[in-house]
Chains A and B, each alone.
Chain A
């Protein structure tokens, strides 16, 4: 996929930054698809590894770009796996929306604010909580579901920490190449 050929087809000037965002979105979609085969005690509820990209984008390009990358990831990802408009899609969307909302609020924090690990943990927890409550409200209002909550939240914390550390390692490399 050469940028040149694309430019000749549709004459929109794309910047280096646009390309980077496109690549990051593609990467997010890849992770989303890889994650879809991840076994979870509650089908459709995922740890949210794709948040790695959301947080990297958030820190590099700001919240509104992160919103786009995240929503695009859910949309394209589920179309590619074939879960579009199924409960799985609804849950992914719920996870993405809740984590993006929490991240949006987190960017408003005073002082130096949060680093990648803090963002990632918050995003992972919001992601899980959003999915869990959506599953409970929309699909299976079964009290027994709450028995899974501790396990799922532990999963969220572990993956949130891991994602945060990945972002931390990733950022300096991405950062150097931007501007």
Chain B
């Protein structure tokens, strides 16, 4: 018996409604996510411990990614190492003779970027003072607890202190106008290396990753549905002072006086040398910068630690970084309102917080 047309339609509605019921009742299930993989690998590179975190990447790609990051970092190290034989040490040796030397475009572009950041930092980030760093003994992997350099020698270097403006970049060549110029890209090379590592991951199609080189990191994407969560170390203890959830692509860099130091006669001397005084920067325990690219974040964190809690605002504005946090020696937190939006303090008592708005400020804050 043929089925009349309207009952055929009825049947279709009924089948459809059955399907709808099943869909509706199992709706909560549709929110379920497939199990995703979190890879975390550690290795030594750039003279420090590097941790690569990957989210939602299969084993095969993860292995490729790790080795890509490793070779990228090693390449930067081989090119820009400040005291072990590298392309940079060769450049330094040649410049010290007063020669004009040819250089490849990649080298020139990196040096001119460093020079630009140095200018914008009012030369507080000064990659030209390798001699001063070496005098302090920080051009070594492990500075022994030996006496600091004599005052006279520091002053002799300060009298004719080079900066990156002494480096003349012309038509694919380099030349120095100050024979004391010795490039040391500490405070920039790590950021540059992390940037390179992240772009190599992005080229492989990886969207969610963190490359953390000795505490300084750049994070892209997220950890599944939640953002990557970064803990910021307390400069005075091993604990975590605050947490930050990163956006889609952000670098978090901190310069701290606790990272590398030696102690002599009960005095602690750390590795961030203030080019104005020739001595380790005083007054600030750490400077943290969140910025899109790691190279800028690295240079800015160094410069802002040296600038200190009184004068950092001007330097931050000039360097184009808006998310800044300084912790001074009294454990007071100085930050921009933009940074204040981002950090959550995990300490038992809320620390004293001083917020300065970069935009509404014309000069140095008193």
Q: Are A133 and B28 in contact (CB under 8 A)?
A: yes
Instruction: With a 10 A CB-CB cut-off, give which of B11, B18, B28 has the most chain A CB atoms.
Output: B28
Residues of B within 8 A of A102 (CB): 21, 24-25
User: What string of 1s and 0s marks CB contacts (under 8 Å) between A104-134 and chain B?
Assistant: 0110111000000000001001100100110
- Our pick among B15, B18, B24 for the contact of A101 (Cβ within 8 Å) is B24
Interface residues of A in 51-82 (CB under 8 A from B): none
Place the interface of chain A in its size category. 10 to 19
Closest A residue to B14 using CB positions: A110
- Our pick among A106, A109, A122, A129 for the contact of B28 (Cβ within 8 Å) is A129
Whole-angstrom distance from the CB of A63 to the nearest CB of chain B? 12
Q: Main secondary structure on chain B at its contact with chain A?
A: helix
Given known pairs A109-B14, A110-B11, the reply for A122 and B27 (CB within 8 Å) is: no
Residues of B within 8 A of A125 (CB): 25
- Whether B263 sits at the interface, judged by CB under 8 Å, is no
Whole-angstrom distance from the CB of A61 to the nearest CB of chain B? 20
Q: Are B31 and A146 in contact (CB under 8 A)?
A: yes
Q: Main secondary structure on chain A at its contact with chain B?
A: helix
A101 to B13, CA, bound (A): 15
A164 to B136, CA, bound (A): 83
Given known pairs A143-B226, A146-B31, the reply for A108 and B13 (CB within 8 Å) is: yes
- Our pick among B17, B25, B27, B31 for the contact of A108 (Cβ within 8 Å) is B17
- Whether A92 sits at the interface, judged by CB under 8 Å, is no
Residues of A within 8 A of B225 (CB): 143
- Whether A98 sits at the interface, judged by CB under 8 Å, is yes
Residues of B within 8 A of A165 (CB): none
A98 to B27, CA, bound (A): 11
Instruction: With a 10 A CB-CB cut-off, give which of A105, A132, A136, A146 has the most chain B CB atoms.
Output: A105
Interface residues of B in 334-362 (CB under 8 A from A): none
Q: Are A106 and B226 in contact (CB under 8 A)?
A: no
Interface residues of B in 19-56 (CB under 8 A from A): 20-21, 24-25, 27-28, 31
Q: Are B11 and A105 in contact (CB under 8 A)?
A: no
- Whether A153 sits at the interface, judged by CB under 8 Å, is yes
Q: Are A126 and B17 in contact (CB under 8 A)?
A: no
A125 to B164, CA, bound (A): 70
- Our pick among A106, A143, A146, A153 for the contact of B21 (Cβ within 8 Å) is A106
Q: Are B27 and A109 in contact (CB under 8 A)?
A: no
- Whether A161 sits at the interface, judged by CB under 8 Å, is no
Closest A residue to B32 using CB positions: A146
Residues of B within 8 A of A105 (CB): 17-18, 20-21, 24
A143 to B225, CA, bound (A): 9
Closest A residue to B31 using CB positions: A146
Whole-angstrom distance from the CB of B61 to the nearest CB of chain A? 25
- Our pick among B11, B14, B25 for the contact of A126 (Cβ within 8 Å) is B25
Whole-angstrom distance from the CB of A112 to the nearest CB of chain B? 12
Given known pairs A109-B18, A143-B225, A143-B226, the reply for A98 and B24 (CB within 8 Å) is: yes
A105 to B31, CA, bound (A): 22
A146 to B28, CA, bound (A): 9
Whole-angstrom distance from the CB of B292 to the nearest CB of chain A? 27
- Whether A31 sits at the interface, judged by CB under 8 Å, is no
Instruction: With a 10 A CB-CB cut-off, give which of A108, A109, A133, A136 has the most chain B CB atoms.
Output: A108
User: What string of 1s and 0s marks CB contacts (under 8 Å) between A139-156 and chain B?
Assistant: 000010010010001000
A146 to B11, CA, bound (A): 37
A133 to B32, CA, bound (A): 12
Q: Are A129 and B17 in contact (CB under 8 A)?
A: no
A106 to B24, CA, bound (A): 11
Top 6 A-B pairs ranked by shortest CB distance? Answer: A105-B17, A108-B17, A110-B14, A125-B25, A105-B21, A129-B28
> Can you name 8 A-B pairs with beta carbons within 8 Å?
A102-B24, A109-B17, A109-B18, A110-B11, A110-B14, A126-B24, A129-B24, A136-B31
Given contacts A110-B11, A143-B225, 9 further A-B contacts (CB under 8 A): A102-B21, A105-B18, A108-B14, A109-B17, A110-B15, A129-B24, A129-B25, A133-B31, A153-B28
Give A residues with C-beta under 8 Å from B.
98, 101-102, 105-106, 108-110, 122, 125-126, 129, 132-133, 136, 143, 146, 149, 153
